[in-house]
Structure 1
């Protein structure tokens, strides 16, 4: 009986062990009319960085994930972003010792509207574990971290 109880406790501990996840820098895909004229600025970079930080904090605070700090970006994917490398963030996360990879992409529709996409891939198989998309479209770049919070709360961490 004691052996059975010990096995159940161990199994429960195994199920609640946090998964390791690498959160990659969020990327901006600018589809606005000004995309070819107005390059991303310090505000865009700031809010992309804050967006990734919100995701890291929410994952960590959930108690279900341990954040792995890896390299900022893989050089092979840099010219067109990780969003266009066919899921290579899974491979990169695995090389950094993570079992999951999170990538977030903000698509700027215009200067006051955006959509956001977050996907978590299994680093071993490259298959999606969780995907979230929002087209809240309210607010300029300062609203990107709020969109992350909404997606994490309502799609990713449910």
Structure 2
């Protein structure tokens, strides 16, 4: 009798333990817009963004999206369907938070905008801003500086921010 009841009791114990576990929270639907360049360098008026800059912005966006998607905490929303002109021209950093409204139209919970600020040809800041898609309120803003670096370091700055600020568990 003990041989029959022992496995049944163990199985019942696992069933009760499994049922008592809370459900995992639903991933936040996040619209990650392409990183944008904000150029405050002395040469900005004479040297517009070039193909190298655009490629480094693309790589920064790609790295951020990859890390965010792999985390399981977020579900990426396709921003390619955005019809807003600011989103298509890469000018979201100048639109006073309009990315939240665009994200809401894409059925996202939050929006994320990455900005690379060129201070000089060797000094940069990488920032992300996350907004609630319904209210437009800032949820999170983080920044890191890159000194004596080249634009090829932008994706490294984006990676550091995502890993160390957005995805790092709270203490």
TM (norm. structure 2) is 0.80
Indicate yes or no: 2:78 matched with 1:69: yes
The structure 1 residue matched to 2:134, chosen from 121, 124, 139, is 124
User: Within 1, Cα distance between the matches of 2:144 and 2:41?
Assistant: 17
Greater share of residues in helix: 2
User: Within 1, Cα distance between the matches of 2:53 and 2:155?
Assistant: 11
The structure 1 residue matched to 2:108, chosen from 94, 98, 101, is 98
Q: Is the 8 A contact 1:77 1:85 kept in 2?
A: no
SS in 2 for 1:24: strand
Question: How far has the Cα of 1:138 moved from its partner?
Answer: 3.6
Other-structure match for 1:147: 157
Q: Give the paired residue count.
A: 153
Question: How far has the Cα of 1:12 moved from its partner?
Answer: 2.5
User: Within 2, Cα distance between the matches of 1:132 and 1:84?
Assistant: 18
The structure 2 residue matched to 1:18, chosen from 27, 32, 36, is 27
Question: How far has the Cα of 1:136 moved from its partner?
Answer: 2.7
Q: Is the 8 A contact 1:107 1:114 kept in 2?
A: yes
Q: Is the 8 A contact 1:33 1:110 kept in 2?
A: yes
Indicate yes or no: 2:62 matched with 1:53: yes
Q: Is the 8 A contact 2:34 2:90 kept in 1?
A: no
Structure 2: segments with no counterpart, 5+ residues: 1-14
Shifted more, 27-36 versus 72-81: the winner is 72-81
SS in 2 for 1:29: strand
Structure 1: segments with no counterpart, 5+ residues: none
Question: How far has the Cα of 1:137 moved from its partner?
Answer: 2.3
| RMSD over equivalenced CA pairs, Å | 2.3
- Greater C-alpha radius of gyration: 2
